[in-house]
Structures are given as C-alpha cells and as structure tokens.
A and B are shown apart, each in its own frame.
Chain A
C-alpha cells in the first residue's frame, strides 16, 4: 500500500450536493492528519486538521477511521467556490515530515 492514496477524480457534482472524499494511509502509527485545498496553479493551503474525534468547520467535516486507516472529508451544500483539489496529508518520521496525497479534484457545476 502506498503511504497515502487518494482517488484523483475528478468528482463533478451539482451545486448544493454533498460530496465525500476518502484518503487511505499505510502508517498505523500516524496520529494526526490534515486536509489542504489547492486551487489551480496556486499554493496549497490548510483546510482543516483531522483529530481522533473528528473535526467540523461549517460545511466541512473531517473524520478519522483508525481501524481501516483512512480519513474522510465531507462537504455539504457544495458551492462553486469549493471547486479545487483537496490534498490529504499524513505526518511521518515522528512528525518531522509529511506526505502529501496526489489530491482529489472537485468540480462543482452550476
């Protein structure tokens, strides 16, 4: 299994829809995780952290499933402005480095 795996998509969804992405990881020792958002040809920016208890920020919910070693990102009531690539990030090496997934591309359609 790769360190971090994501479905590259694209996920094409209509405005107002709910969409979810998963990201699987191989290192069972990883403790905390992150979702970043990257707009086309721009730098990645932190969207939210993922804790054991999950994390919710407005329309965005991140969950961790340790038993199956994946994290998820749920976006409710999708907006056109949510169109971007979502990168899953997993720490490694005692938190000294991280591994980025290849990203899942979301396109929200009017």
Chain B
C-alpha cells in the first residue's frame, strides 16, 4: 500500500462549490504539506502543518483552508471553487529533522468549470 494517499484522484466541480481534498499517510511523519502544481509555475506551497496543533499558511493560501484531523490526516478545502483553482494538487509529508526528503501522494487533478 502507498505511504501517502490522496482522495479523490480526479474531480470536476463547478464554480462556487465547496470541495475537500483528503490526504492520509502511514509514514508516521509529523509534517504535512499541500502544494498545487501549474504548468510553468512549478509546485507552490498552499499550507503546511508541523503537528496536529500547528497550521501555517504557505505563499498561496487565499481561497483555501486546511484541517489536521490527526497526525496521519491533513485535508484541504476550497471554500468556493473558482476556475483558476484548476490544478494538480499534491499532499506531502516529511519527518521533523529539517527539510529532508518529502514524500508525495499521487496527486488530485481538480478541474473547476
């Protein structure tokens, strides 16, 4: 089984809808991240969490919120989806020893129409 899983893998939604992307990990890592990837822009950090009680905004957090339900679960919500949030979303984890290797989930391809 994969160490980092994301659901759903693909989602098409309409403008204005609220949508939640979920991430679970079995690596036992404290740190979890949400990124979005757009062509020509690379991976950009949306939110990150260093433990259940620690949530931090990344550089593009507007229009998004997160919830760290447990050490193993980190969810990303789009409060009111808009077309420019169409992107490939990745969840990642790392251990607490600095910015070491990040392990990524398989990604969620989100399309907002």
Say how far A4's CB is from chain B's closest CB, in angstroms: 8
Say how far B52's CB is from chain A's closest CB, in angstroms: 17
A34 to B59, CA, bound (A): 21
A100 pairs with B43, CB closer than 8 A: yes
Q: Note all chain B residues with C-beta closer than 8 A to A14.
A: none
A87 pairs with B42, CB closer than 8 A: yes
Q: Note all chain B residues with C-beta closer than 8 A to A46.
A: 101-102
* A55-110 CB contacts (< 8 Å) to partner B: 87, 91, 95-98, 100-103
Q: Note all chain A residues with C-beta closer than 8 A to B43.
A: 44, 87, 100
Q: Note all chain B residues with C-beta closer than 8 A to A41.
A: 88, 107, 109
A97 pairs with B42, CB closer than 8 A: no
Asked whether B12 is an interface residue with its Cβ less than 8 Å from the other chain, the reply is no
User: Chain B residues in contact with chain A, CB under 8 A?
Assistant: 35, 40-43, 45, 48, 50, 58, 88, 90, 98-99, 101-102, 104-107, 109
Chain A interface, number of residues (Cβ within 8 angstroms)? 19
A102 pairs with B41, CB closer than 8 A: yes
CB-CB nearest in chain B for A4: B42
A44 to B104, CA, bound (A): 7
Known: A46-B101, A97-B45, A98-B102. Contact between A8 and B40, CB under 8 A? yes
Say how far B60's CB is from chain A's closest CB, in angstroms: 13
**Which of B40, B42, B88, B104 has the largest count of A CB atoms less than 10 A from its CB?**
B42
A103 to B38, CA, bound (A): 12
| 15 cross-chain CB contacts under 8 A | A34-B101, A41-B109, A43-B105, A43-B106, A44-B90, A46-B101, A49-B101, A87-B42, A91-B98, A95-B98, A96-B99, A97-B58, A98-B102, A100-B35, A100-B43
